[in-house]
Amino acid sequence: MPSDSRKHRRRSIHIKGYDYSQDGAYFVTTCTHKFRLLFDKDENRDIAERCWLDIPSHFPFVELDEWIVMPNHIHGIITIAHHGRGTACRAPTFERFGKPVPCSIPTIVRSYKSAVAKRINAARGTPGARVWQRNYYEHVIQDDEDLYLVRRYIQENPLKWDTDENNPHRLHVAGADGWRTARNNRHQRRG
């Protein structure tokens, strides 16, 4: 059965016309395939962390800021900083399928996801198995206040895991104001 291009068309998550290889800070989030708790296992989390920390060795104009590996996703801030070293990594400002732009956020994220998938599949003996969802979330950090808020979000993310909608083990207790976590209810009773 032929596919309907209108039905299966993927929307771009990128800002139209934005140069994702230019200097700046970018907040990225990528999730595991079907939100599996892949990084609950220490060996898989270690692979994800090592690959994250290895990004600057593959992309010379990249610096890493705050980041966290959660059970089924990773959040991180990637900074592209040429520091006046020219534009050796610059290329056309848009990326087309099969034509990556060197030193761009899409290329960096794709490289990271590929490295993690390859190493995790080798460790599990599951070559070619899907590790990641197809896309990722990204946000261009606008200023110091935005950077502060994103850093805080990343730092506080583990505290919110109990209520994360993609946590299959989250605990719920119905209350007058809707769903609340069991931990929040215990805290309220003490007060």
- Domain boundaries along the sequence of the chain: 24-161
Query: Which pTM value belongs to this model?
Result: 0.76
Written out in words, the top-level CATH class of the domain with range 24-161 is: alpha beta
Q: What is the pLDDT of residues 80-139, one digit of tens each?
A: 997 655 444 444 444 444 566 778 999 999 999 999 999 999 999 999 999 999 999 999
Q: Is 33 helix (H, G, I), strand (E, B) or coil?
A: helix
> What is the rounded CA–CA span in Å between residue 126 and residue 123?
8
Q: What is the pLDDT of residues 60-83, one digit of tens each?
A: 899 999 999 999 999 999 999 976
